[in-house]
Amino acid sequence: MILGLVLGAAAALLLGYFGYGRWLAGSLFKLDPAAPVPSETLRDDRDFVPTPPAIVFGHHFTSIAGTGPIVGPALAIMWGWGPALIWVLLGSILIGGMHDMAVLVVSLRNRGMTVGEVAGRLLNPRVRLLFLVLLLFALWVVLAIFGWVIASVFVQFPEAILPVFLQIPIAVAIGLRVHRQGKNLLVPSLAALTAMYATVWLGAGCPGTSWTGGPVGQLVQGINGTVASWPIWLWVAILLAYCYVASVLPVWLLLQPRDYINSLQLISSLGLIVTGLVVTAFIGPATIATGTPAPPLEMFAPLIDLHPTNAPPVIPFLFVTIACGAVSGFHCLVSSGTSSKQLRCETDARAVGYGSMLLEAFLAVLVIVAVGAGIGLGWPQEYPGLTGTALWRELYGDWKGVTGGKAIAAFVVGSGNLLESLGIDAVMARALVGVLVASFAGTTLDTATRLQRYVVQELAGTLAAKLPGGTGASRSPSPLALPLTWLTTPHGATLFAVGTAFLLALLPAPGKDWSVANLGTGGLILWPLFGATNQLLAGLSLLVISFYLRRRGLPTLVATLPMILMLVMPAWALCINIGRWLDGGSLALVAVAVVMLAVEAWMAVEGLLLWGRVQGVLEDPLPPLGAAYSETSR
């Protein structure tokens, strides 16, 4: 049954790509292989770099995936694996894939502008400013929380630490080779994949050899134990410092190749998990580490449970709990922020935008299987003697007891159980999946830093131009405008991005006292807002896509119907949460939520007022290329 479920989901996603995805690319957007693209017309070899589609796909996929398609399904399965699976498949094929590809195409046709800038062109400047403020907030929370997420993974699975950091020199070496010596990716790809799996093996303490308990294994385990004990705030500082470097370096030197080689490892690891699932289904699971025979593989999670203990209502919260894997507003930032500046051909947008989204959906399907079935094979380190339904209920008996960190751990252990059926050592199996999770989170973190840099530059440039004696073409900067002018530079904007994220992270999590152990968890203060804010962002991106189509007299229902869903559901969830936060005295969350709802309502009203006047009316043409480029100050 489980194997058939996974194969059926894969077939549905492939049908979506070759059916709906083909229609969107060919008939609706009419992608043109000869159309000029920003990577060529604005090439600067830092942000705008024409890049082979395989590398852009790797960057895009690893950036959008993060831990979202892991945490979301691993939490939402409490309502049953049926609702989670249906939303993942229908959401990704009909909404998420279209959303990601459409934003990518619209950005490509607007000189690589971010979705916020495009909103200003297709609607009006007020919408642009509101959009940028929303993006600034969302990315601020992402940077603060993902540092904590990665640090938590390192603490739980220290064998992932060494491989994640050794990816950096491997990526730089691959980036230099590809950039200097041409387009042949086969040899460097194989070399990078081999080297990365070797680092995972090394990080796990060289299992399967006499080195495991010898000097090498002891050295590695000692390093892992030492760095895993570092405080969270220190890890967040180290990770954000890396993100600063990755954001200001040319995109081809570190960001692109790291994301690409990560995608090779991540996709091959997903292939291993599927292979482990096949072996487990046909031959049976491996004996768990305690020596107790594991139960037969089956879905230990319920098909549907609309009222799990202490859980919010499945509607609307399913639609904000599973974001990545179905549809996610964060993806519009990657599509319009980095990927559109790298594509060397417009027709590549289908594979990069729509294809990456469907691959992420397949990852979400594997998460549902790993948590719903794989975890039931045993977790002897944490729950000795428990297997099957009893173990699943112990983990998922109460919504309040399931956290993001626990959900990630359930996926790592559940997937590791499937890998053990292939004869892979238990420590190595956990290391493989732990590196997968940490790498996903790391690539999202460094890409989010670059995206925040773009947003800060755009906002600073806009505000500086409006100040007396601002930075207009005929005026010299005034003292009032100088700080904002500094923020329009890559280094200034990046320092602001990582600095403000670190300040938020330094605060202790809600309910925690001021202590060294709690510093670095401040992202959790605003994290309850992120799910709904992220999905509101998807709805507003679909609003921009709808206006793009309407101005060209093209069918709009493909965007407007999903837009309505993705504006109503997160707003509904926010309204329910506001009541709960008021009862709990979380006034800061209430205040921010009210502001988010006001921004959504404002932008929706702006759209309604314009909708009837723009049918078949194209937006103003872009200014001359040189002027447009100098204004962005990139």
Average pLDDT, integer, range 60-74: 89
What CATH topology corresponds to 2-468+478-507+516-632?
Amino acid/polyamine transporter I (1.20.1740)
pLDDT tens digits, 275-298: 999 998 888 787 665 556 778 888
Across the chain, mean pLDDT equals 88
pTM value is 0.90
What is the reported pLDDT for 554?
Answer: 96
C-alpha to C-alpha distance for 379 and 506, rounded to whole angstroms: 33
Average pLDDT, integer, range 482-489: 81
For the chain, percent of residues with pLDDT exceeding 90: 48
pLDDT tens digits, 311-333: 999 999 999 999 999 999 999 99
In the chain, the amino acid numbered 405 is G
What is the reported pLDDT for 629?
Answer: 42
User: Which residue has 């005034």 as its token pair?
Assistant: 478
User: Where would I find the H helices in 585-624?
Assistant: 587-611
CB atoms within 10 A of CB 36: 13
Average pLDDT, integer, range 245-258: 87
Higher pLDDT, 190 or 567: 567
What is the reported pLDDT for 110?
Answer: 96
* Torsion 606-610-615-619 (CA) sign: negative
Q: Give residue 633's pLDDT band: very low, low, confident or very high (50, 70, 90).
A: very low
Average pLDDT, integer, range 229-257: 89
Three-state SS string over 188-223 comes to HHHHHHHHHHHHHHHHCCCCCCCCCCCHHHHHHHHH
**Interior CA angle at 426 toward 420 and 428, to 5°?**
100
Q: Give residue 601's pLDDT band: very low, low, confident or very high (50, 70, 90).
A: very high
pLDDT tens digits, 413-425: 899 999 988 888 8
Is the peptide bond between 158 and the residue preceding it cis, with omega within 30 degrees of 0?
no
pLDDT tens digits, 122-181: 999 888 888 888 888 888 988 888 888 888 888 877 888 888 888 889 988 888 887 776
Q: Give residue 472's pLDDT band: very low, low, confident or very high (50, 70, 90).
A: very low
Query: What are the boundaries of each domain within the chain?
Result: 2-468+478-507+516-632
Are 264 and 194 within 8 A, CB to CB? no
User: Which residue has 């007022």 as its token pair?
Assistant: 609
Residue 579: pLDDT over 80: yes
What is the reported pLDDT for 207?
Answer: 74
